[in-house]
Amino acid sequence: MESLGAFLKRRRDLVTPEMAGLRTYGTTRRVPGLRREELAQLAGVSVGYYIRLEQGQAESASEQVLDALARVLRLDPIEAVHLHNLARQPGNPGLSEPPAEEPHPRVVALLESLSEAMPAIVLGRRGDVLAWNRTGHALLAEHVPFEAPQEAARRPSVPRMFFLDPFTRDLHRNWDELARVHVAYLRLTAGRFPTDALLAKLIGELTMRSAEFATLWAEGEVADCTVGTMHLRHPTVGAAGVSYQVWLQPDSPDHRLEVYTPNDPGSADALRLLAHRSAESGSGDFPQLAAEHGFAH
């Protein structure tokens, strides 16, 4: 997880005096970015008050102060939301295991209403697959049992697959780009749910088992994950380019319905073939492959 102080320090290091409109007169500086007193001055707060914020004593931080810090630190809207989330965390948040996630009936109804020609999955707050249609399953994880999302203990974890599963890495030709997005979104989620023990366990596990995840996590990027492109080398239908977009359900804002559409006629043909093959094969004969790759919980 992440503290307010660590986030402020990291972002302060990224803003040079020149970027903030300050003159340094050629003096030697011991910090790569803004000093604490410079940031405090630019945000219109006292140095002592800002130091207390970096020390995590943010109970009295007003919306106006946080907005001023976001402006000086040149945060985008999502990063500013993350700043506010961190500032609202309790001083010593204890971890607790939340109840098992279940997709809202309206989300399930929407998923079921989609044509099988349109791959789709429902993701929980930690990136667990809560449900998918057959084409969504075949597109992203055909080596996993189709029924896996039905049991909380067996649900595939997209972050785990992305960093720990060779099949998923081989599937994505733009893995590096997508991996960065996954980590940035996971950090945004961690700011929203600082007491989620399962989320903390996931981040700790990936940090220990994947050097690439640990490196990206240390960079501290924060981003939402609503639209993007995946370039695939699918073992069944070959090369395909698809765009993903996320639909949010007001009744369960933590859950995301992710829908995939083809980027070109060849990819559209590939998705039609995949839909046809997945309909013919039913749930598929994938349990042995899933066991071999071993990324279920």
Over the range 146-158, which residues count as b (16 or more CB within 10 Å of their CB) and which as e?
bebbeeeeebbbb
Q: pLDDT per residue over 116-140, tens digit each? A: 889 999 999 999 999 999 999 999 9
- C-alpha 199/C-alpha 197 separation (Å) is 5
What is the distance between the terminal CA atoms of the chain, rounded to a whole angstrom? 20
Question: 281 and 243 in one domain?
Answer: yes
Q: pLDDT per residue over 240-251, tens digit each? A: 999 999 988 777
Q: Does the residue 244 lie in any domain?
A: yes
Instruction: Confirm if 158 and 127 have CB atoms less than 8 A apart.
Output: yes
Considering 27, 60, 87, which residue would you say is the last residue of a domain? Answer: 87
Stated pTM of the model: 0.86
Per-residue pLDDT, 295: 39
Lowest-pLDDT range, 45-49, 251-255, 285-289?
285-289
Per-residue pLDDT, 22: 80
Per-residue pLDDT, 58: 66
Q: Give the domain CATH number at 237.
A: 3.30.450.180
Q: Is the pLDDT of residue 232 over 50?
A: yes
Per-residue pLDDT, 280: 76
Considering 56, 87, 118, which residue would you say is the last residue of a domain? Answer: 87
Q: Is the pLDDT of residue 11 over 80?
A: yes
Query: Would you report the helix, strand and coil content of the chain in percent, each value rounded to 5?
Result: 50, 15, 35
Q: Give the domain CATH number at 80.
A: 1.10.260.40
User: Average pLDDT in the 261-288 region?
Assistant: 78
Number of domains in the chain: 2
Question: 135 and 184 in one domain?
Answer: yes
Per-residue pLDDT, 282: 63
Place of tokens 């370039």: 231
Sheet of 238-248: strand order equals: 129-132, 120-123, 256-262, 238-248, 227-234
Per-residue pLDDT, 293: 36
